[in-house]
Structure 1
Amino acid sequence: MSLKLSILDQSPVSEGQSAEEALKNTVELAQSAEKWGYTRFWVSEHHDTYSLAGSSPEVLLAYLAAKTEHIRVGSGGVMLPHYSPYKVAENFRVLEGLAPGRIDLGVGRAPGGMPRATIALNKSRTRNVDDYPEKVEELLQYLYDDLPETNPLYGLKASPMVKTVPELWMLGSSPASAVLAAKMGLPYNFALFINGEGGVSFMNHYINNFTPSNYLEKPKNMVAVFAICAETDEEAERVASSIDLSMIMLEQGMESKGTPSPEKAISYRYSPFELKRIQENRKRMIVGNPNKIKQKLEELSELYQTDEIMLVSITYDFQDKLKSYALIADEML
């Protein structure tokens, strides 16, 4: 089985770097990913944070589509409970019209930020995750012009009237997302980089309980994992130390002005608890030389019964990130 590789980029901001530089790096990475042979390039939605500049995937995707030629570009993902499914459908129909056959619409139910961002995004109403399945169904109806006659809005069209449809992906890090994706007959991407526990069982449920739909005849699945590659294991560990410290800072609510340098991470005095947290967080990551990364990715492919893996990388030095993805591509693509 030939393994396809894709990229999710969160437009991370390093200490001392501007958000403008981070967004510019995302564009350069997308162009490089296309050249190297990656299948998809997705961008994320995060709010109210110094560390991640990707807050509006729809806007960023339009620019990325214009700056690339054939790689699929998509959202990883749009946090649907915040938004009108009708407006999301129109946004992505515009994108599909601009880049036909190249747009992925990944959706999730997470807030994408702290509670105050959720309040700001839902100013006049309460964000209700319980209606997420209904919102996904409504989004599909608009994308496929499939509103039932019983719907009071029957006949409503999501503009523009384009010839192709964005590929809708269900994203998640919990069993609920796997259950919903299987029930609705949609592609499913498990976020191993967010949750290091239970993913294999979630994916097994999705595959074993998949219900064929008008959108998909058989299961289509991916797994997304943090990956840091360098020419040697030692160098990969040095680069990865930045994200080790970043995760500790996030978990403990420490103030962050972006991804710390390896030098800062290496000199940090970790408590025994923090060292255990790093060990636990490494379940979400693969770190090493190209051959080790290849072996780990092939193992993940078998475990998750998938022919496509999405890689996520956060480094202090953007050149380290470029080198990581280039080395993996040289080894596997």
Structure 2
Amino acid sequence: MVTLSVLDQSPIRKGGTAAEALANTIDLARHAERLGYSRYWLAEHHNTASFAGSAPEVMIAAVAGATSHIHVGSAGVMLPHYSPLKVAELFRLLETLYPGRIDLGLGRAPGSDQRTARALQPGPQAYPIDVFPQQVELLIQFLEDSIGLGGEAGGFPIGHPYTGIHATPRGPGLPELWMLGSGGDGAAYAAQFGMAYCFAHFINQDAGTQPLEIYRRNFKPSRQLERPHGSIAVSVTVAETEEEARRISASRNLWVLQLLQNRAGAFPTIEEALAHDYSDEEKVMLRAVERRGIVGTPEQVRGRLLQMGTEHGVDDFVILTITYDQADRVKSYELLAKAFGLGA
């Protein structure tokens, strides 16, 4: 059985506001739960006019509070910016509020430019990127200690500098751990720590099947996961006709083109995207951008996703859909859910 989930970056449209983008996130989450999607993940971006989601832990609380049973999580918390203890406490609190529903997805990318990344760091003792594995290990130890594993069995052993420091509130449950990545490094870390792994195909489709192969080949069982569990995050736009799907996707395509030119702002209207006077160089770039996602009718998109699943050896997809109009975005998720028989 295929599992479908949602990745929401809370996009800000031209002429709209961040408040509107966040309200659209809550609205879409309610629809996703009704439609039968399994998870609703919130992204982390900083210093951008394109996305409103700078604090996924805050949006997780808002989305979980507005829904009743769908899993809600981060995609992801960019751990190099933060203290592992603080992240453990944030997600222990979320798990206590919404038991059995919280996913903690981790990433090592900055989610911003390098200057902003430095500004997010906690001062001169900031974490260099090469200590990311140690941060993940500390985070897992704090989380396991919070459910009372303690001692050599889990948490911090006797004599460790952090023995006796607990991620609170303590309790019986743990958030579900995921590693997010667009290449081999994230896959290797997910395998090392026995975490589920989601490959960001929408960022790096040129990586092919290699990241998931690395993950499966090197996976080590953990307390949370006995066998590897892989997923793919894919950019998707669905409409009743292929022509309409391509028209709707023009907005995001122009935005990605502008991103590649370091000119990204709020998402342009469909009319602006269709009327844009593309240079010859931009036309080449645009064709490459169009290949980064799956666009078409429900049947076309379903077929392509199933083909990707066979190629990558997964049946778990996280769907990223960005449109200028919220109604088009909701409709895209509705059509895809119906094509896969979710909630039937």
> Is TM-score (shorter-chain normalized) higher than 0.5?
yes
The reply to whether residue 97 of structure 1 matches residue 96 of structure 2 is: yes
The reply to whether residue 195 of structure 1 matches residue 194 of structure 2 is: no
Contact kept in structure 1, 2:40 and 2:73, CA below 8 Å = yes
Quick one: distance in 2 between partners of 1:205 and 1:255? 33
Runs (4+) of structure 1 exceeding 3 A deviation are: none
Match of 1:173 in 2: 182
Match of 1:183 in 2: 192
Tell me the alpha carbon deviations over residues 176-205 of structure 1, each in whole angstroms, 9 at most, x when there is no partner: 111111122111000011112114111111
Name the count of aligned residue pairs: 331
Letter in 2 for 1:136: V
Letter in 2 for 1:56: A
**Structure 1: tracts of 5 or more residues without a match:** none
TM-score between the two structures when normalised by the length of structure 1: 0.97
Quick one: distance in 2 between partners of 1:255 and 1:160? 40
Contact kept in structure 1, 2:42 and 2:74, CA below 8 Å = yes
Quick one: distance in 1 between partners of 2:218 and 2:113? 33
Letter in 2 for 1:252: Q
The reply to whether residue 248 of structure 1 matches residue 247 of structure 2 is: no
Match of 2:205, SS state, is coil
The reply to whether residue 261 of structure 1 matches residue 260 of structure 2 is: no
Match of 1:18 in 2: 17
**Structure 2: tracts of 5 or more residues without a match:** 146-154
| 1:65-80 matched pairs, under 5 angstroms | 65-80=64-79
The reply to whether residue 315 of structure 1 matches residue 314 of structure 2 is: no
Match of 1:104, SS state, is strand
Quick one: distance in 2 between partners of 1:196 and 1:279? 14
Quick one: distance in 2 between partners of 1:199 and 1:177? 15
**126-135 vs 3-12, greater mean Cα deviation:** 126-135
Quick one: distance in 2 between partners of 1:56 and 1:169? 17
Letter in 2 for 1:132: F
Match of 2:148 in 1: none
Letter in 1 for 2:43: S
**158-167 vs 267-276, greater mean Cα deviation:** 267-276
Match of 1:273 in 2: 281
Measure how far apart 1:109 and its partner are.
0.4
Contact kept in structure 2, 1:61 and 1:74, CA below 8 Å = yes
Contact kept in structure 2, 1:118 and 1:127, CA below 8 Å = no
Tell me the alpha carbon deviations over residues 135-159 of structure 1, each in whole angstroms, 9 at most, x when there is no partner: 0010000111112324211122110
Distance 1:198 1:255, change over 3 A: closer
Quick one: distance in 2 between partners of 1:56 and 1:176? 24
Quick one: distance in 2 between partners of 1:153 and 1:210? 28
Using CA pairs under 8 Å that are at least 6 residues apart, name the structure with larger relative contact order, 1 or 2. 1
TM-score between the two structures when normalised by the length of structure 2: 0.94
Q: Alignment identity in percent?
A: 46
The reply to whether residue 62 of structure 1 matches residue 61 of structure 2 is: yes
Match of 1:141 in 2: 141
Measure how far apart 1:284 and its partner are.
2.5
Contact kept in structure 2, 1:173 and 1:199, CA below 8 Å = no
Quick one: distance in 2 between partners of 1:81 and 1:254? 26
Match of 1:117 in 2: 116
Match of 1:153, SS state, is coil
Contact kept in structure 2, 1:190 and 1:199, CA below 8 Å = no
Match of 1:159 in 2: 168
Quick one: distance in 2 between partners of 1:255 and 1:246? 6
Match of 2:243, SS state, is helix
Quick one: distance in 1 between partners of 2:335 and 2:223? 39
Quick one: distance in 2 between partners of 1:169 and 1:158? 19
Match of 1:144, SS state, is helix
Contact kept in structure 1, 2:256 and 2:264, CA below 8 Å = no
**225-234 vs 109-118, greater mean Cα deviation:** 109-118
The reply to whether residue 132 of structure 1 matches residue 140 of structure 2 is: no
Quick one: distance in 2 between partners of 1:274 and 1:127? 38
Tell me the alpha carbon deviations over residues 149-180 of structure 1, each in whole angstroms, 9 at most, x when there is no partner: 24211122110012110001000001111111
Tell me the alpha carbon deviations over residues 242-262 of structure 1, each in whole angstroms, 9 at most, x when there is no partner: 111001111101252x11111
Match of 1:321, SS state, is helix
